[in-house]
Amino acid sequence: MLIEKATEFIHIMYRELGYDEITIKQRLDDIQDQINQTGTYRHTSEELTYGARMAWRNSNRCIGRLFWETLIVQDARDVKDNDGFIDAIHKHLAEATNHGKIQSYITIFAPEDDNPPIIYNNQLIRYAGYENAGDPAERTITQLAQHMGWEGKGTDFDVLPLIYQLPGEQHPRMHELPESLVFEVPIEHRSYPKLKDLGLKWYAVPIISNMDLKIGGITYPTIPFNGWYMVNEIAVRNFTDTYRYNLLEKVAEEFEFDTLKNTSFNKDRVMVELNDAVYHSFKKAGASIVDHLTAAKQFEHFERNEAQANREVTGKWSWLVPSLSPTLVSNYHHGYKNVMKEPNFFYKKKAESTGCPFH
Ligand code: ARG
């Protein structure tokens, strides 16, 4: 099984990169030897990097895949102790944030059969969720942090501590991220100044930390990775979903819309203006962000590139269609085959997973 998966991956990668069949044969012999001796094999750094990029390219839910070849990979496979772990996380935060010009970035710790450290958080940066404040999607991890002795301020935007476990240790540890490494954007609207009074903000870099990466039969369970935000992820989903910040009515009040009756179309108007606010607040703060229409155009570009390379683009329609004005973009008007190619990112099995899906 492992050798089959490895062979498939090596064939695809090495052929895409133009390696000859002799080189491929040599590498596969080497991998077979390693498997015979140790039961597994170790990716070269080139395989690790290209495998992670392929995993992004194969991510059916992601509209941002045009940039798959620009992913930066931090190889942290040999990091086992606390200082090394924290250094790798801090380095990821600093280099991915890049003073606002966000860089797509992944840090890859040891594979599952080589004692990896484990991260409990859903994203490296996330706001705590309390009974009456904060992000309801993070209540589980917030309770875990509190159970471990953490006390949040109780605001809507308390950055959660990192909760992680090192190989060989019995208990998880906790670490507060230095403020200087957490880029946050205060939200305001260019023509509705009262919006500022709500004190909304959001962090600039969404670093998913609850998925597995599978490359050539090897599973990497600790692989924080990020791109940059598409505006509607924050404005439409995080701020407006009723089971998230549920802000529609509060924002409508600040905008001084007198009614939210369905037929006034003010609910829709709030949504559009909130996207405008988030987008331009990010720009003003110097943080990368993309609007939904541009992102969809970039995805069309990706589809053309893939067609040219003779690869089929798989996708999950319900995720690729943006959550604001979906019919304005081409994705809406055709279907995608939702088949999982590998390498890819996978949700963890329920039992190990610590929280809610992040979308
Ligand atoms: N939707 C998630 C959030 O709002 C982030 C998922 C990843 N998004 C991205 N643009 N890379 O936190």
Structure tokens at 316: 């999950």
Residue 194 beta carbon below 6 angstroms from any ligand 1 atom: no
φ and ψ at residue 95, rounded to 5 degrees:
-75, -35
| pLDDT tens string 62-86 | 999 999 999 999 999 999 999 999 9
Mean pLDDT taken over the chain: 97
Find out whether the peptide bond into 343 is cis, omega within 30 degrees of 0. Answer: yes
Task: Give the mean pLDDT of 341-356.
Answer: 75
**CB-CB neighbours of 161 under 10 Å:** 21
- Residue of 210, 233, 279 to test ligand 1 pocket, by largest number of atoms within 8 Å of CB: 233
Residue 156 beta carbon below 6 angstroms from any ligand 1 atom: no
CA distance 20 to 213: 27
pLDDT > 60? residue 226: yes
Confidence of residue 350 (pLDDT cuts 50, 70, 90): low
Task: Give the mean pLDDT of 96-124.
Answer: 98
CB 198 within 8 Å of CB 182: no
| The pLDDT of residue 356 | 38
pLDDT > 80? residue 335: yes
Q: How far does residue 206's CA lie from ligand 1's centre (Å)?
A: 5
Residue 227 beta carbon below 6 angstroms from any ligand 1 atom: yes
Q: How far does residue 327's CA lie from ligand 1's centre (Å)?
A: 21
* Closest Cα to atom 10 of ligand 1: 229
pLDDT > 60? residue 353: no
Residue 322 beta carbon below 6 angstroms from any ligand 1 atom: no
- Percentage with pLDDT > 70 across the chain: 97
Task: Give the mean pLDDT of 299-305.
Answer: 98
- Residue of 66, 229, 243, 359 to test ligand 1 pocket, by largest number of atoms within 8 Å of CB: 229
Task: Give the mean pLDDT of 85-102.
Answer: 99
pLDDT > 60? residue 222: yes
| The pLDDT of residue 358 | 36
Q: Measured in Å, how far apart are the chain's first and last C-alpha atoms?
A: 32
- Percentage with pLDDT > 90 across the chain: 97
pTM of the model: 0.96
Place of tokens 């509060």: 250
pLDDT > 80? residue 247: yes
CB 75 within 8 Å of CB 109: no
Task: Give the mean pLDDT of 332-358.
Answer: 79
| The pLDDT of residue 333 | 97
Contacts of 79 (CB under 8 A, 6+ apart): 85, 87, 88, 109, 110, 117
| pLDDT tens string 113-139 | 999 999 999 999 999 999 999 999 999
